[in-house]
Chains A and B, each alone.
Chain A
Amino acid sequence: MKAVKFLLLSLAALILSGCPSPTAQQNAAKASQVASAAVVAAQQGEITIYNTGQQCVAAAQSVAQTSACIVIPPDEHLFLQKEFVAISELGKTLDSCILGSTTTPGIVACANTALVTVNQINADGALALKSDKAKTTFQLVITSVQVGIETIQALLGGS
């Protein structure tokens, strides 16, 4: 997963460094937008995988067919969606913080605070999720958000 994170962070840095002289606030805002778009895509992916798995189980006519289905258990799907709500709230809080911060240290503080919350959400998911698919999807979401926040920190020189 670190390779995935590095790839996404590199992509984000390339995107943002190619823009003409943006302010710290603009860079932070763009990183948040990239992260939000990535989370939208990951959430839609999780819902598709969940629905496809449920349809596969419903259509299966043998134990072998059922075991071949890629399934996210309903309770883990529900947990993931609740985490998506928490992440969306975190994203809006981060955006509001960025909008209200006119200094680089202020924006870095926004990012640092958000990262603490993401890490807590990540720890909760590690404890609650058991299926490989649910864990993988959750890791992609967490990585997307972490990359967005760490891009802000990297561009603004924070940590």
Chain B
Amino acid sequence: MNAAAIIALIEELLPAVISLYKQLAATIPGTKPVEQILAAADANWDLVKAAADAEIAKATPAKPA
């Protein structure tokens, strides 16, 4: 990885990730039930899969009828 790529990473992606970490610091109570925390994590993983499936579908040519 070259220096330009690292700079691009910091400029474009890292602030969003750091912002999320800070937001989570304020929104996850220490005594919240494990089930609720994991349900929130699973909801995020579902979002990732749904977005990925949509991108994969866009990139895959439709089969002829």
Give chain A's interface residues, CB within 8 Å of chain B.
1, 4, 7-8, 11-12, 14-15, 18-23, 25-26, 29-30, 32-45, 47, 49, 70, 74, 77-78, 81-82, 84-85, 87-89, 91-92, 95, 98-99, 132-133, 135-137, 139-140, 144
Contacts and interface: CB of A to CB of B under 8 A. Distances in A.
Interface of B: 1-2, 4-6, 8-10, 12-14, 16-18, 20-22, 24-25, 28-32, 34-35, 37-38, 40-42, 44-49, 51-53, 55-56, 59
B48 A88 contact: yes
Given A33-B40, A92-B42, A136 B1 contact: yes
Contacts of B25: 14-15, 18
Contact of B41 (A36, A49, A74): A36
Contacts, number: 163
B2 A84 contact: no
Contacts of B22: 11
Given A4-B14, A144-B17, A25 B44 contact: no
Interface centre among B5, B20, B41, B47 (most CB of A within 10 A): B41
B35 to A, nearest CB: 7
22 contacts: A8-B18, A8-B21, A11-B22, A14-B25, A21-B31, A29-B41, A30-B24, A32-B37, A33-B28, A33-B44, A34-B20, A36-B45, A38-B21, A45-B13, A70-B8, A81-B52, A84-B51, A91-B44, A132-B2, A136-B1, A136-B5, A140-B9
A135 B1 contact: yes
Contacts of A133: 5, 8
